[in-house]
Amino acid sequence: METPLPPPQQHFLFVTNPLQGHLNPARRLAGLASPDEEAVDAAGVVHIPYSDGFDEGFNPAVHGAGTYKARATAAGRETLSAVVARLAARGQPVTCVVYTFLVPWVPDVARAHGVPAALFWIQPAAVFAVYYHYFHGREAAIAACANGRDPGATICLPGLPPLRADALPSGVSITSPEHRHYLLLDLVRDLFLSLDEHKPRVLVNTFDALEADALRAVPQFEIAAVGPVVPDADAPPSGADLLRRHDAKAYMEWLDTNPARSVVYVSFGSVLSVSKRQEEEMKRGLEATDRPYLWVARKAADGGASPDSSDGARGLVVEWCDQVRVLSHPAVGCFVTHCGWNSTLESVTRGVPMVAVPQWTDQPTVAWLVEARMGAGVRARVDREGVVERGELQRCVEMVMGDGEAASAILAQSDRWRKLATEAMSPGGTSETNLRAFAYSGAVNNA
């Protein structure tokens, strides 16, 4: 019998923009994809900086909103090219460049160096499919649905179930270059133009059991699920952490004092801060539940003010927490979340039911997945100002954590999806198999 050949030596270069929600899954995937675990540091990766031309930070009010893309593209190409050349000169040539979706110019650099590229799509496969159809002939129809007055109207796209306007990513509702989030849509447009040109392999942070149809909705690309890519509860701190870490002892000890599945955990992620009114409604709604709660409230830069950390006997408010450790704690019974995909997958893998409060970008689609596809939570209704009022929050928390049949069904579904997610990433699971195949072969040479 022939001895199987050893896996080829691969040197993956992961490229992302400086947003924590992009850095985290990219860093985690880099560690998982390494065929030689002894060749990386304890955190899983070596971090190499490149420049987007705004090393002191980008401020639209100072630099002008229209300047970012051109300058970031030019500076990024130049400095990333220097990184690739420097690694080759050191005898560590890059064999595959893996990039996330807000740096669409990366495949051009890879091709210039004769290196294949792969896209790591860090949002749901359903969002990828919606954007693909949006940029390939369905823009007017999708935008009309997203901006229509009929809340029950749906759009039917190939490979996807009918989607209502509130299940579409917010980018497809943008119709004017003057919109404050137009840059996001413009960068995603560039990404899909680049995909059409380069045809890279697409790795998606999802798993087959959850999005089987969406993963096959765009047969024009080789798409593979490699998730859920989430950190371990005991993962070491990383040099890629942009947020200041606080001592976890106080809130973890506080969680220890509470019964199993009794605590409401609230966090809206690392980017957005809520309005003063939403903050007040959230506080009153949490108090009305008469349940202990742990609330991560960022200091707002737009007029909002974080609640006092001494938020009564039932609640604890912090500016930051180790979310995976919190969601892994048996005292946590519910996650009130903005439905960022990283946060949602962390909740899914821990079997924690969710109250979905989506804000923008892919979050409306994620909320649809949580409620309609997984049955692992409930989506909160908002008023005309986009605020979840206190009574609605109380209703949703009770629906998820109460003693009724609805809460029991949601808890059962949450546990079911936890098991399916674990199976996908276990040896021989669908995502683990896809990831190992990619790590073994790199990417198809499309340079």
Query: Among all residues, which ones are annotated catalytic?
Result: 22
**Ramachandran angles phi, psi of 361, nearest 5°:** 45, -125
Burial 32-44 (b: 16+ CB within 10 A, else e): bbbeeeeeeeebb
Are 444 and 438 spatial neighbours (Cβ–Cβ below 8 Å)? no
Measured CA to CA, the distance from residue 184 to residue 173 in angstroms comes to 12
Unique residue bearing structure tokens 């923009």: 17
Q: Which amino acid is at 58?
A: F
Tell me the pairing of strands 96-99 and 12-15: parallel
Phi-psi region of 114 (alpha: psi -120 to 50; beta: other; left: phi over 0): left
Are 165 and 145 spatial neighbours (Cβ–Cβ below 8 Å)? yes
Straight-line distance from the first to the last Cα atom of the chain, in angstroms, rounded to the nearest whole number: 36
What torsion, rounded to 10 degrees, do the Cα atoms 370, 372, 375, 379 define? Answer: 60
Sign, CA dihedral 41-43-44-45, equals: negative
Tell me the pairing of strands 223-225 and 263-267: unpaired
Are 143 and 169 spatial neighbours (Cβ–Cβ below 8 Å)? no
Nearest to 207 by CA among 215, 199, 197: 215
Are 26 and 32 spatial neighbours (Cβ–Cβ below 8 Å)? no
Are 269 and 358 spatial neighbours (Cβ–Cβ below 8 Å)? no
Token reading at 138: 């369905």
Measured CA to CA, the distance from residue 360 to residue 380 in angstroms comes to 14
**81, exposed or middle or buried, with CB in 10 Å at 0-12, 13-18, 19+?**
middle
Phi-psi region of 137 (alpha: psi -120 to 50; beta: other; left: phi over 0): left
Tally of CB atoms within 10 A around 200: 24
Are 379 and 395 spatial neighbours (Cβ–Cβ below 8 Å)? no
Three-class DSSP category at 154: strand
CA 72 to centroid of chain Cα atoms: 22
